Structure formats: structure tokens, C-alpha cells
Amino acid sequence: MSEHLTCEVLVVGSGPGGYVAAIRAGQLGLDTILVEDGKLGGTCLIRGCIPSKALIEAAEKYEQAITNAKGSSEIGLSADSPILDFKKTIAWKDGITEKLSSGVAGLLKAAGVRVVSGWAVFENAKTCLVGDDKITATNVILATGSKSVALKGLPFSKNGKGPVISSTEALDLSEVPKKLVVVGAGYIGMELGIAYRKLGAEVTFIEAAKTILPGFDKQLSAPVSKWLRDHDVDVQTNSFAQSVSAKGGTHTLTYTDKDGKDVKLSCHKVLVTVGRIPNTQGWGLENMAIDMVPENNGIFIKVDDKCRTAMRGVYAIGDLVGEPMLAHKASAQGEMVAEIIAGKKRSFQPAAIPAVCFTDPEIVSVGVTPAEAKDKGLAFTQGKFRWAANGRALTTGTAEGGGFVRILALKDTGRIIGIQAVGRHISELSGEFVLAIEMNATLQDIAGTIHAHPTLSEATMEAALSALGHPIHSV
């Protein structure tokens, strides 16, 4: 029997933007309904951020075990040859996502949010159908996220059973492919490609740009390039994947190399990671009288600094509204919108949003880079501290690879405008980096803050001292 539900806030999508918005709205006493077609948690928790980091961690442990088995451990460890039960690895990964998804369900329940399972299709801006049920809301928060981009000549195989897969299927393989081709050497492709190399796959990258990780400057990507060379990973830049053919149980990828020649490459799986686009199709967006951003072929929903769309009482957050398409941006917007609906004065004007790439080594970028500062005509100074000079990095065996922390600050005031870093486990410092910029910290503030010894965080202090012209543990 169909129902007609009403609420003050309707949230569509339970990713890191949607579920945070729903929880906060519930906490503020707003009658809230959340609609989700799949598992609670969305792409990030179920098919992206969390499962990929679990796979990366498993790959790291397996590589360390292989190193110990070869007797090449620098700290004198040796062990029998490890055996990888990949199905068990995937099951462990799935256990983590299930636990977190259940946790989201518990948080929503505690906040008094009603969860409706199914696909929402809007009849108009404030009313949608979910199966036979109708939901009418005073306020709507659109949080439908994004999906992987497919290439014309490389359509994704149905159910991930064929040769061409997206990042979603790459996290659910039943076995490690012997030969893996990754089309796209951005952060998603690099993270998964490196993980599968550690798990024993032969990996080749096909990248259309001139360099890997085109979103990061060369200083930051250089240590990752070194890791790829040291681990016999083939990287073809200025190259374009064309098609995949199958014959006799094997697959062949054809790509055009930098010289314009067609090259054929034998492989078992082709992982396409050339970007993501917002989920704007199939749920009635065309019935909501909402404006789209003219740029980027109009794929993003146009919002103001409060995430309000052109339709009163309809908000859009996260990947739907443009770059950066990051989970933590979506969460911040979701919380903000819930508070705006509750009557609080808020706007989305972050000083910086951290970008983290979980490669080996990891990369963090917050604020402006040297190139961006020059383009803006800013007079700045910068300081750098090498990861190899950090005591904690040395004692944990993570100092190799050319990592560093780099700080940029305005010359006249010393206010920090950008921090970039590359190094193993450097992602754990991203909070300190973005907090420094958000709080308008100066070089003197960071240099004068006593950092615990020995910790990785000392590298931030040392970089600030370097920018001030009197480094202590570097020359």
C-alpha cells in the first residue's frame, strides 16, 4: 500500500554529504527523511575512499612480508614466503565497509532520521516518488554524488565480469590480475595501480597528459615516479587508450603512444580511471527548475555560497556542485546546509580544502602552490624540510623516497598560504596543514609551537623555520 510522507527536510543520497546533512538536521530537531537506493554510506564508504584505503593497507602489509621473506629487510627481519588469500582480503575489506555502514544507520536512528530505501524520482522540486510512495518536503538537499567516467572505446563490462572495469569493480575482484593496465594516472588510478603492483600484478599506466598525477606539481609527483621506476611499473604518458579486443581467453588493449603509433598490449584487466561526473541523470532533475553551471558542459548544479539552487528551499552539495569532488567537502557542506535550514547563519567559504593522494609515498596539498602564487602575483617565501631528516620517519622506515614538507607564506606578513608535502604516512599531517591556513597562522606561529619529539609533525615546524631563514635540522 502506497504512502504519502511529509517532512521538513528531504535528503537524497546517503554519502558523506547526505548522511551528515541528515544527522545534523535531525540533531537540530528538524523532521528529516533520507532516501537511499543502496547501502548507507554512499560511494566513499561503500565503493571508494574507505575500501580503497583498506586495499592499500593490505597491499602494503603484503609487500612488507615479501621483503622480509627475501631477507632484504633493513631491520633484520626474515620470514617464510607469505601466501595471499585475496578472497579473504576482499572479505576483510567488505567487513570494514559493512561495519561503517551499520554505524551510519545507528547515527541516523539516534538523530531521529527516517530512512526510506529506494530510488527517488522528482515530480517537481519538492515532491518525489520512491517506488509507490510519495514524499513531499519543505526543504530538499540533493546529495546524489558522482560516478566513474567511461571512455567511448572502452565501455565498462557488465557486472565487472569482462576486461574493462571501473574503480568500483577493482575493489571487488576475486583474484589479483596478472597483468593490469590502468588508463588514467590521476590519484584514483595511481592509488589502485600501486596497490595492485604491491599485490603482485604487472602494472602499466596509460596517461593522456604529459605527466602522472597532473593535478600535483612535479616536485610532489617526483617521489611517486621514483617508486614506480623502482618497482618496474611501466608508465606511458602522452598516450591514448583506444579499444580492447579478446581472443583465445586473453585481452589486448590498443593504445596510441606519444609518437602517434598504435601499440598492442596483452592484459587481463583494464582499469579505467579518467575521472568522475556528477549523478544528475535518472532522478528527475529536469523537473526541478534548477540552473546548471554553464562551464564544463553544464554537468554541475549551480549553487551560491550557502549551497542554495535557483529553486527556493532546494540545496545541492558535494560532487553535484563542482570541484573539488572530495568527501570532506561534501560533509562540510551537508552540515552547513542543515544548520541554514534550522535558521543559523552559515556560508561555505573555507580558506582551504585539503587534497590527499594515497600513493606511495602519499601526497598532501593545501592552499596555493608556488606556481599558483606566482600566477596570482603574490610575493611569497617558502621553506622545505626533507622527510629523510625526520627522526620518526627514520625509525619507522618511512624516510626513503625523497619526501618533504613545503610551506609557502606571504613575504610581508608571514601568513601561511599553502602547504604541500609528500612522504609515507604524510596524510596524517593534513589536519595541521589546513588548520594553519584556516586560522591565518604565520610562520612564526608554527615555528614557535612546540612539536612533540620524535614525531612526523616536527617536519612542519622545521619547514617553517626554513622559510624564516634559520633552519635547525637542515642546511
Q: Model confidence over 4-33: pLDDT tens digits?
A: 999 999 999 999 999 999 999 999 999 999
| 160-176 per-position pLDDT tens digit | 678 999 999 999 999 99
| 222-234 per-position pLDDT tens digit | 999 999 999 999 9
pLDDT over 90 at 2, yes or no: no
What is the Cα–Cα distance from 442 to 471, expressed in whole angstroms? 16
| 326-344 per-position pLDDT tens digit | 999 999 999 999 999 999 9
CA distances from 159 to 52, 163, 281 (A): 19, 11, 20
Q: Which three cell numbers stand for residue 181?
A: 593496465
pLDDT over 80 at 159, yes or no: no
Task: Identify the pLDDT of residue 160.
Answer: 65
What is the Cα–Cα distance from 31 to 10, expressed in whole angstroms? 9
- Domains present along the chain, CATH in parentheses: 4-146+277-341 (3.50.50.60), 158-274 (3.50.50.60), 355-468 (3.30.390.30)
Select from 246, 274, 93, 49 the least CA-distant residue to 157. 246
| 419-462 per-position pLDDT tens digit | 999 999 999 999 999 999 999 999 999 999 999 999 999 999 99
Residue 352 has φ and ψ, to the nearest 5°, of: -160, 150
What is the Cα–Cα distance from 311 to 284, expressed in whole angstroms? 14
| 345-394 per-position pLDDT tens digit | 999 999 999 999 999 999 999 999 999 999 999 999 999 999 999 999 88
What is the Cα–Cα distance from 235 to 113, expressed in whole angstroms? 48
What is the Cα–Cα distance from 250 to 185, expressed in whole angstroms? 24
Task: Identify the pLDDT of residue 1.
Answer: 65
Q: Are the beta carbons of 183 and 273 closer than 8 angstroms?
A: yes
Q: Are the beta carbons of 194 and 227 closer than 8 angstroms?
A: yes
pLDDT over 70 at 249, yes or no: no
Query: What HEC string does the chain produce?
Result: CCCEEEEEEEEECCCCCHHHHHHHHHHCCCCEEEEECCCCCHHHHHHCHHHHHHHHHHHHHHHHHHHHHCCCCCCCCCCCCCCCCHHHHHHHHHHHHHHHHHHHHHHHHHCCCEEEECCEEEEECCEEEECCEEEEEEEEEECCCEEECCECCECCCHHHCCCEECHHHHCCCCCCCCEEEEECCCHHHHHHHHHHHHCCCEEEEECCCCCCCCCCCHHHHHHHHHHHHHCCCEEECCCEEEEEEEECCEEEEEEECCCCCEEEEEECEEEECCCEEECCCCCCHHHCCCCECCCHHHCCECCCCCCECCCCCEEECHHHHCCCCCHHHHHHHHHHHHHHHCCCCCCCCCCCCCEEECCCCEEEEEECCHHHHHHCCCCEEEEEEEHHHCHHHHHCCCCCCCCEEEEEEECCCCEEEEEEEEECCHHHHHHHHHHHHHCCCEHHHHHCCCCCCCCCCHHHHHHHHHHHCCCCCCC
Which of the four pLDDT bands, split at 50, 70 and 90, describes residue 64?
confident
Average of per-residue pLDDT across 86-105: 94
What is the Cα–Cα distance from 25 to 10, expressed in whole angstroms? 10
Tell me the catalytic residues.
Answer: 453
Q: Give strand pairing partners of 420.
A: 365, 406
**For the chain, what percent of residues have pLDDT higher than 90?**
86
pLDDT over 90 at 291, yes or no: yes
Cα 222 → chain centroid: 20
Q: Which three cell numbers stand for residue 309?
A: 539552487
pLDDT over 90 at 402, yes or no: no
Q: What is the dihedral of CA 38, 46, 212, 72, to 10 degrees?
A: -160
